[in-house]
Structure 1
Amino acid sequence: MPVPVERGKHTRSLLRDQAYVSIRDAIVNGTLAPGEKLRDPELEEWLGISRTPIREALARLEVAGLVHTTPGRSTVVSSIEQQAVLNAQSVAAAMHALAVRTAVPMMGDEEFEAMARANAHFADALSRGDAEAAIRSDDDFHSVAVVACENDVIAQVLEQVTPVLRRLEHLRFSSLSGRDSIAQHEQIIELCRDGDAVAAADATERNWQTLSQIVEQADDHADD
């Protein structure tokens, strides 16, 4: 087999992933606001990397719905569009429910303890008002079932639809309303321990559907 001519493939891939995470997180936490232009020279200076991995990261962010690029003109941070968020929420809720329903028969004490630990970290982050840590802990909680279900397609779909929901999660976990998820997580854990896959999946889907309330609140603020 001939050796591929491309050099530094893994290094560039890593830089692209790092750029994606940095820009995504800045959009999620509001540092980069909706409508803000993303200029290559400014991004290069901020991230300390070249234009190529930045453009690759922006292309990935556009697929995720976080930025919008007009060819030959500019790349801007996307606004929070109600229908796009609701569509993503429906898919995410269904995928997480499917993951739980599939995973419950294969889960044991290790998975239940991981979920409980993640929920404890989640509760602590909310009590400290650390929305970003809360999002990470919420991800850790839900990823237990996603990994346990052993269905790579679920993870791939979630990778595509979840980013557009991050800004709503940040808003939710920055307010007291986010504390409702602690009890919802506890219920999911208990149903998983009981081996009730259907009820656990239904509870998981309800947990994700609560983001629609934040969409409505965001629209109300936009109209004020």
Structure 2
Amino acid sequence: MPVPESSIAPRALLRDDVYLRLRDSIVDGTLQPGEQLRDQELAAWLGVSRTPVREALLRLQQAGLVSALPGRSTRVASLDARAVRDAQAVVAAMHELAVREAVPQLTSSDVERMRQANLRFATALEAGDADAALEADDELHGIPVAAAGNAAVSAVLEQYTPVLRRVERLRFASLAGRGSVVLHARLVDLCEQGDVDAAARVSFETWQTLEPLLDSLAHDAATVAEQGD
């Protein structure tokens, strides 16, 4: 059949844009844990119809950023220690795989971009700028993911990384993330040297630096539960 003259791309772009804006608003704390999400209010805020908002909320629920039960309101999900640990395990494994596949494909330009991203990351940490730190961290890790060209890895990371980013904002707002600067530098050096196994190990290790925050999150949840008994 002939290709239709009209394109569905604008709708797809609108849907994705709404999802990204709501996702980022949850990650950066604009929409707080427990806050009720009414699709009509969100649609008015974003200047769109309710349909893409509803689609975005379903995607956010699948990602663990929104909670909704039949007959009850839709709310921003709380920071659940178990959910974050699950996401951490998946994200760490996916980045390890991406680096393993990417190292042989990385160019000198890719390596230099990773190095510059780490410099921006360190500068942002010193300034206590969590948003800039997250942006630089995303860029650094995104380079080997893009070089790997593994669509399945990219899809999984898109779903689960935002769950971690909510916790990482707490760490990157202080100097507690300085250890990641060192790990990033090692990762870049190993990528440059073409050491696949060592680079993959360091990539995995980088995502384990969240453990102290996850332990604190679990402790806080246990304390709240005990107080409620």
TM-score (norm 1): 0.92
Equivalent position of 1:124 in the other structure: 123
TM-score (norm 2): 0.90
* Identical columns (%): 52
Equivalent position of 2:227 in the other structure: none
Equivalent position of 2:202 in the other structure: 203
Aligned-pair CA distance for 1:3: 5.7
Secondary structure (helix, strand or coil) at the match of 1:70 reads coil
Contact 1:130 1:174 in 2 (8 A): yes
Q: Which 5+ residue runs of structure 2 have no aligned equivalent?
A: 225-229
1:1-224 correspondence runs (5 A): 1=1, 9-222=8-221, 223=223
The CA RMSD measured in Å over matched residues stands at 1.8
2-structure distance, mates of 1:151, 1:44:
34
Contact 1:43 1:54 in 2 (8 A): yes
Contact 1:20 1:60 in 2 (8 A): yes
1-structure distance, mates of 2:220, 2:173:
16
Contact 2:92 2:208 in 1 (8 A): yes
Contact 2:63 2:163 in 1 (8 A): yes
Question: What is the aligned length?
Answer: 223
Aligned-pair CA distance for 1:166: 1.4
Contact 1:65 1:163 in 2 (8 A): no
Secondary structure (helix, strand or coil) at the match of 1:74 reads coil
The amino acid that maps onto 1:89 is Q
Q: Deviations over 1:58-96 (max 9, x none)?
A: 111111110012234321111111111111101110110
Most deviating of 102-111 and 91-100: 102-111
Contact 1:13 1:53 in 2 (8 A): no
The amino acid that maps onto 2:128 is G
1-structure distance, mates of 2:31, 2:174:
20
Aligned-pair CA distance for 1:219: 3.3
Secondary structure (helix, strand or coil) at the match of 1:13 reads helix
Aligned-pair CA distance for 1:191: 1.0
Moved runs in structure 1, 4+ residues, more than 4 A? 2-5
1-structure distance, mates of 2:127, 2:140:
18
Q: 1:73 to 1:10 in 2, by over 3 A?
A: farther
